[in-house]
Chain A
């Protein structure tokens, strides 16, 4: 490894690395975020510009190697991954599908929106064939959903089939922001009208 300059105001001597720099040997380190295993299988190199951090291995795990990661200062925009929680705005509601624009991935806003769809069978966990899409979502609702998979060529597949997933915020026909009263109903504060949604249980 060539001479690596220290960050000014040094905190524990975390050094700044650039892409391609050797971080260590694969016998002692596991590549984390911002690092990768070189094709020769033995060296771990950086893939981002940032500070090098060592994460100690979880106690009791079989692999006792530390994880080395590079924390970039300007990380690239979030991309939805299967298993991540996303926040999306519903754009279209149809008989068996609701279409939504993904705006945040795990509390990080995306640079440009991704398209996701919620299928009828993924709206809730019980009685999935009796789901009425129009009584679960309306266009303009903000929903919290789970990414099931990368889906087809057009959109990610999302699911709201958990208690904490579903409509987080919605506007009533009268224009007021509705208050959730149960897991299927929301009430408008201006008119008192109750509307049906698949509501998320927010703590």
Chain B
């Protein structure tokens, strides 16, 4: 199947190879949580609720000099094409939970909140490729909404290589094509990589190009996330009468 039209250069959904899907972020969607966010990348929709810092539930895991970060990833039954009831602890969920936890833990200043716990609950409402990245972006917004101190804004984007072209932000159809899928997570202002994952194989020089493309996508998302946070702060200030 031709994922990139050789004549026009368009992908199957009409995007150019270096074009990302439309992104949208919203803060404060879960009233009960300390911080929450909804993030959309094209048709992929993810909601994240953050609770914390609060007292550790499992005292044996408590740490005396830093906060414990816990993450739970789950996909809603209606999130994919066929409605299936997913097992809570299945391998993919555990892996993505671990990935999100490690990525966010690298950014949260855990030493400021010893003996406490920060819970990040991620729920995928609609899955159309790039769920991992959308989850990390939403988690960043939710943590900022909760007022949890972080080193930097963590953003993530995926890129692939199909029909000899590096493609930015794969959707589900492109992802299931069997080509390589590189997911990158960066600390935008500090220019550091916190997450780098790839499945399938790529020659080294092509990998560099694909990774660079993903990093540019991450930076674009970081600019958008920063605008969302600034806009949200202005709204809160004006409601307060500041």
Contact = CB atoms under 8 A, between A and B. Distances in A.
B238 A19 contact: no
Interface in A36-85: 36, 38, 45, 47-51, 72-77, 79
A5 interface: yes
Given A19-B153, A20-B188, A9 B242 contact: yes
B224 to A, nearest CB: 12
A113 B232 CA distance: 29
B151 A20 contact: yes
A47 B149 contact: yes
Given A18-B153, A18-B226, A111-B34, A79 B147 contact: no
B151 A18 contact: no
Contacts of A114: 55
Contacts of B35: 74
Contact of B189 (A45, A50, A115): A45
Nearest to B231: A5
A156 to B, nearest CB: 8
Interface string B113-124: 111100000000
Contacts of A47: 109, 149-151
Given A8-B234, A21-B189, A22-B189, A111 B59 contact: no
Given A20-B188, A47-B109, A48-B149, A76 B34 contact: yes
A60 B115 CA distance: 36
B240 interface: yes
Contact of B233 (A11, A16, A21, A75): A16
Contacts of B149: 19, 34, 36, 47-48, 76
A74 B234 CA distance: 13
Interface string B137-179: 0000000111111111100000000000000000000000000
A7 interface: yes
B236 interface: yes
A18 B230 contact: yes
A17 to B, nearest CB: 9
B34 A77 contact: yes
A49 B140 CA distance: 12
B55 A76 contact: no
Interface in B208-226: 225-226
A112 interface: yes
A20 B152 contact: yes
Contacts of A113: 55
Interface string B55-74: 10001001010000000000
Nearest to A1: B189
Nearest to B57: A112
B73 to A, nearest CB: 22
B229 interface: yes
B61 to A, nearest CB: 10
Q: From A7, A19, A76, name the one whose CB has the most chain B CB atoms within 10 angstroms.
A: A19
B236 A5 contact: no
A154 interface: yes
Contacts of A38: 190
The 10 A-B pairs with the shortest beta carbon distances in the complex, nearest first, are A20-B152, A47-B149, A20-B189, A112-B54, A76-B147, A19-B150, A72-B147, A73-B236, A74-B147, A18-B229
15 contacts: A7-B237, A8-B234, A9-B238, A18-B226, A19-B153, A36-B149, A38-B190, A45-B190, A47-B150, A77-B34, A77-B52, A79-B115, A79-B116, A115-B55, A150-B115
Interface of B: 34-35, 52-55, 59, 62, 64, 107, 109, 113-116, 144-153, 187-190, 225-226, 229-230, 232-234, 236-238, 240, 242
Interface of A: 5, 7-9, 11, 16, 18-22, 34, 36, 38, 45, 47-51, 72-77, 79, 111-115, 150, 153-154
